[in-house]
Amino acid sequence: MGYSLMVDHEKKMKRKISNRESSKRSRMKRDQHMKDLSDKLFYFMKKRDEMLPKMKGIAQEYAAMEVENMVLRSQKQELEKRLEYAKSVCGWCEGDGYGSMSSMGGFQEPWLRPWDQYQISNSISLMPSTGNFQF
């Protein structure tokens, strides 16, 4: 074998060794990267599992508050309507006392007609209790 063939053979061997080491480093980096990704996945799945019950509880509290808000708005409207009728009654009473009933809406409010028990029981059911909410 000539000198140039031996030099070429040594270069090929060095290149093979260098390529093997480079491949080994690449595999180790890839494996480490996969382990890091797996660890992150586990961490985020654990965090998600911790957050889901909290989010569900918050959603339930939000829904309860929405219901309570609707009840309060309804009660507010009912009280505003009653206040208008009360003002109308006061205006009628402060007048000469001979005004027509139509100025008071014809006594449409149940508290103005105590003899109509059906109307009173319906008006009482319009104001449900708001319930107890814990936070």
CA distance 97 to 92: 7
Name the pTM for this structure: 0.46
Name every residue whose Cβ is closer than 8 Å to that of residue 101 and which is 6 or more positions away in sequence.
107
Q: For position 115, what pLDDT does the model report?
A: 60
**Helix, strand or coil, per DSSP, at residue 98:** coil
Residue type, 27: R
Residue type, 92: W
Percent pLDDT > 70 in the chain is: 68
Tens-digit pLDDT profile for residues 97-123? 544 444 445 555 566 655 655 544 555
CA distance 105 to 101: 7
Q: For position 45, what pLDDT does the model report?
A: 98
What confidence category does residue 5 fall into, taking pLDDT thresholds of 50, 70 and 90?
confident
Query: For the chain, which residues make up each domain, given as ranges?
Result: 3-87
Tens-digit pLDDT profile for residues 38-77? 999 999 999 999 999 999 999 999 999 999 999 999 999 9
What confidence category does residue 135 fall into, taking pLDDT thresholds of 50, 70 and 90?
very low
